Structure 1
Amino acid sequence: MVSPSSPDPRFSPSWSPRTSPLPALAVAGVGPVALALARRVLSAEDTELARWSGVAGPGVLVLLGDTESLPWVEGVVYLGRDAAAPALLLPCTLAPDVAPALLERALVARAQTGTPLAVLPRTAHLVPVGAARPVSRDTVRAWLATQEGA
């Protein structure tokens, strides 16, 4: 499991709808949405699980996979890669109000972890996803039990 960074209110660019959505490479949930996403993962067939890798931390779950394989639950954020900021996974339907390359430089410097970084603007989380591992039903079940007991 990988711990996401804490929200940082000092850095909060504005976000607006993208003119053209990015192809989804990941899906993320925070708080109750992360729990719902974990439950959805546990209900998936083994063939689906084999198509995903993921990272999780306190209250955050990020799954990476092919666009067509990524699960859906109410409230998740789909993330994709903007060619101008390849070290970031950004919301597929939102664009920052700053140049993506500048955003990338600032966030990578701030995070001081490996890349890519999943950017979750609504909660201001940065989640390093470079250490993503294949999804294991046992690991997801253990993470979910820990989160529900917290």
Structure 2
Amino acid sequence: MESQERQPVAWRPRSQPLPALAVAGVGPVALALARRVLTAEDAVLARWSGVAGPGVLVLLGDTESLPWVDGVVYLGRDAAAPSLLLPCTLAPEVAPSLLERALISRAQVGTPLAVLPRAGRLVPVGAARPVSRVTLGSWLARQERP
């Protein structure tokens, strides 16, 4: 039986940006995003849910409330791939439904999946929880340790 090599997916600018449902940061951008979130008022913080892992932070919320820091990626939902959160300004050069099937079968984790092509990361966001200032502060402190 022949082994199949994974082919990287090429991305192109999206003709019509997707409405943002999430914002993600990887590496130093994730840390900057966490610092920005920690400055938000409690009422704004209560509008977000999120997931975090080693070097990655994804926040979900309404478009108007999502924070900005330099280097973040805004993610939205393409109707052709509803289980994925894709970059709002980029579209895969393959059919989104095919990409969705391939990523879900390869990842073998829950959906939806945040797709971060430039970082080469897939982040399951189905377990997103309300953002807690204490929990986020603790995550940030762990990430900043040498």
TM interval, short-chain normalised: over 0.9
In the other structure, the counterpart of 1:6 is none
Q: Deviations over 1:100-137 (max 9, x none)?
A: 00000000001101100000000110000000000000
The amino acid of 2:129's aligned partner reads: R
TM-score by length of 2: 0.95
TM-score by length of 1: 0.93
Q: Deviations over 1:42-87 (max 9, x none)?
A: 0000011000000000000000000000000000000000000000
In the other structure, the counterpart of 2:130 is 134
Equivalent runs, 1:1-150 vs 2, <5 Å:
10-150=6-146
Q: Report the Cα distance in structure 1 between the residues aligned to 2:53 and 2:7, rounded to whole angstroms.
A: 21
Q: Report the Cα distance in structure 1 between the residues aligned to 2:117 and 2:85, rounded to whole angstroms.
A: 11
Unaligned runs of 5+ in 1: 1-8
8 Å CA contact retained: 1:12, 1:124:
no
Unaligned runs of 5+ in 2: none
Q: CA deviation at 1:11?
A: 4.4
The amino acid of 2:82's aligned partner reads: P
Higher gyration radius (CA): 2
Q: What count of residue pairs does the alignment treat as equivalent?
A: 142
- Structure 1 runs of 4+ aligned residues shifted over 3 Å read none
Sequence identity of aligned pairs in percent? 80
- More RCO (CA 8 Å, sep 6+): 1
